[in-house]
Every structure is written in C-alpha cells, then in structure tokens.
C-alpha cells in the first residue's frame, strides 16, 4: 500500500491551492484530480471577480495555471477518483478507482459540489438529448436554436448570457418574481434582447420525439391564476445550484443538514483529527473561487501543523 503524508482529493481552486502550499511546506502532497479535473470552474466562461485579473480569465485557464503552479513545487498530481474512504484518527485509507489503496497521514477533502437537477422524470428521459446542466459544455449544440434556462441565481444568469451569444432565443424560467443573482448580472440579463425572463414559472415537463421539442411550464404555482402551458424549445439548461460531494465521507465526518462537511474552530479541521475539508464541499455560504482557494491554503497550513504536532 502507498503511504503519503498529505493526500488531497479533488482538483478545483481549493485542491490545487492546498497542493501549492503543501508542496512548498515539503509535505510531498499527492493530489487525485477526480472525475472532473479542474472542477466546476472549468465549465464557467469568464472569471471576472478573482483579484489579480483586471481583464478576467477563463475558468479552464485559471485551473491549468494553478495545476502548473502546484507541479512546479513538486506536488504529485494524479488521475483517479476516490471510491472509498476510511477516515479514523489513527487510520486513513483512501481507495482510488476501486482498487488502489493509499494510506495517508493527513487528508484534505476538496471534492467540490455538483449541479442539482429538478428531479423530473423527463430530465432522465432526455438526458443527453436536450437536457444539460452545463451551458458552456453543451451550448455549442444549440446554435441558432431556442433554449430555456431554469434558475434565478448568478449561474442561471451567466448561462443565459452565454447561450444568448449562440442561440436564437433564450427563455429564463425563474420560480419567484425576482432574480437572486448579483445586481450586475441582473442588469446584463435584463438588457439582453435575446433573453426573455419568465418570472414565477417552473418547468414541469418536456416533450419531443427524438429529443426535446418543447417544455411544459407552470405559471403562478399555488395561486388562483395558476396555469400550465407549453412552449417550443430545443433544449433545457438547469442552473439551480449545487450539492456538496460529501457522500463518500458521510460515515466518518459530521455533515450539516445540506450535506456540507462541518469544519471547526475557524480552521479547516473536520471532526476527525488529521482530516481537513476545503472549498465548496465545506462551504454552504460563499462558494467563490477566491474563498475556495483561501480555504485550500488554510487546510494545507492546518495539515502541516497537525503533522508537526503529532511527530508525523
């Protein structure tokens, strides 16, 4: 069995930043990139709010730069997915791809979060045939077509803006009568002539022969004026938030009621000594690239102190 001093699981801004700090502290970190190297930011367009990039930077480029920076200081970045975890104070064993076991003195969990779906049977029926949770991955297939985006946060607005550059028309279905997105995003969407916002609308079904040809909408749910109707669309993009990727660790780690890993004492420590959590998997509140990176830094520093204090 491989033995490592510092094992990092996940490769978004939290994981890579933890790797940079841990490598510079001579912890010889090993990082497994998981199923989506670079994490969620590789699916965003432009990052405009990370300090230090006055002209913005693409998510994919930023992740590539962070990865290179970690490698430069000696981090061992590997392809592989953690499939099993034993996380006890005196025994931390992570299984990679169902076969390779790694014994770690410390573990930093930075597995991020994944897109939520609406839970409609039609989402499964039309998976890969007109339903997507990633506008930048799949938008290309909808050039000059009509799509509907669901959600009212920054992700939904950003997706609607991105898709408006490709599509003939973009509907944005928002379940409340207001957007939750930041003011700057709201203004962009409201000014965009290709985007039509459908407030107090939910998508409740889809129809089509060999792919999505339309969506069934419900307007004013639960009110006297509640109404159902259909519109013609070629694609549905879901942008209603994310859930933390913590299931693998739930047997050992304390999670909050939404499944985020709990950290304690203003540090990145979890309830298991030597196990730290960073980034979106432990952050129900901020969920920004900059806060994820900062928590990755904190986790690596916490890790180093733990190793020193325990003579490991």
Beta bridge partners of 255: 261
- C-alpha radius of gyration, the chain, whole number: 21
Q: State the catalytic residue, choosing from 122, 138, 280, 283.
A: 138
Measured from the CB atom, the residue of 32 and 237 that comes closer to ligand NDP is: 237
The active-site residue, picked from 2, 65, 97, 137, is 137
Between β-strands 57-58 and 46-47, what pairing exists: parallel, antiparallel or unpaired? antiparallel
Which pairs count as long-range contacts for 262-267, CB under 8 Å and 24+ apart, including other chains? Answer: 267/298, 267/302
In the complex, minimum distance from the CB of residue 240 to ligand NDP, in angstroms, rounded to a whole number: 4
Nearer to ligand NDP by Cβ, of 104 and 149: the residue is: 149
For the chain, report the end-to-end CA distance as a whole number of angstroms. Answer: 18
Closer residue to ligand NDP (CB): 150 or 167: 150
Q: Shortest Cβ contact with ligand NDP: which residue? A: 153
Residue 109 contacts residue 277 (beta carbons within 8 Å): yes
Residue 155 binds ligand NDP, judged by CB under 6 A: yes
x-or-dash string of contact with ligand NDP, 45-74, rule CB under 6 A:
----x-------------------------
Tell me how many residues contact ligand NDP (CB under 6 A). Answer: 18
Site string for ligand NDP, 114-153 (x = CB under 6 A): ----x-------------------------------xxxx
Residue 36 binds ligand NDP, judged by CB under 6 A: no
Q: Is 137 a known active-site residue?
A: yes
32 near 96, Cβ under 8 Å? yes
Beta strand 214-219 with 100-109 is unpaired
Q: Concatenated DSSP letters for 217-272?
A: EEESTTSTT-EEEEEE-SEEEE-S-EEE--GGGTTTS-B-TTSPBP-BTTTTB-SS
According to CB under 6 A, which residues from 263 to 292 bind ligand NDP?
287
Which residues are annotated as catalytic? 134, 137-138
């Amino acid at each position: 069995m491989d033995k490592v001093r510092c094992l990092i699981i996940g490769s978004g801004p939290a994981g890579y930043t933890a790797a940079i700090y841990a490598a510079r502290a001579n912890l010889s970190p090993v990082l497994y990139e998981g199923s989506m190297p670079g994490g969620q930011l590789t699916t965003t367009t432009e990052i405009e709010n990370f300090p230090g990039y006055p002209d913005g930077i693409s998510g994919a480029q930023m992740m590539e730069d962070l990865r290179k920076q970690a490698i430069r200081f000696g981090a061992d970045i590997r392809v592989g997915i953690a499939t099993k975890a034993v996380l006890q104070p005196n025994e931390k064993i992570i299984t990679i791809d169902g076969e390779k076991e790694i014994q770690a003195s410390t573990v930093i969990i930075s597995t991020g979060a994944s897109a939520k779906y609406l839970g409609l049977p039609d989402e499964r029926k039309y998976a890969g045939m007109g339903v997507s949770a990633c506008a930048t991955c799949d938008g290309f297939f909808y050039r000059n077509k009509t799509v509907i985006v669901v959600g009212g946060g920054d992700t939904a607005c950003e997706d609607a803006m991105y898709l408006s550059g490709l599509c003939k028309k973009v509907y944005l279905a928002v379940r409340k009568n207001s957007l939750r997105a930041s003011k700057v995003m709201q203004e962009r969407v409201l000014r965009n002539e290709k985007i039509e916002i459908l407030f107090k609308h939910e998508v409740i079904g889809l129809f089509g022969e060999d792919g999505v040809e339309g969506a069934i909408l419900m307007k004013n749910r639960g009110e006297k004026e509640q109404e159902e109707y259909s519109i013609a669309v070629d694609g549905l993009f879901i942008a209603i938030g994310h859930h933390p990727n913590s299931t693998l660790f739930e047997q050992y780690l304390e999670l909050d009621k939404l499944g985020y890993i709990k950290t304690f004492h203003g540090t990145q420590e979890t309830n298991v000594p030597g196990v730290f959590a960073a980034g979106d998997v432990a952050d129900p509140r901020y969920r920004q690239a900059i806060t994820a990176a900062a928590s990755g830094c904190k986790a690596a520093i916490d890790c180093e102190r733990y190793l020193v204090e325990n003579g490991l």
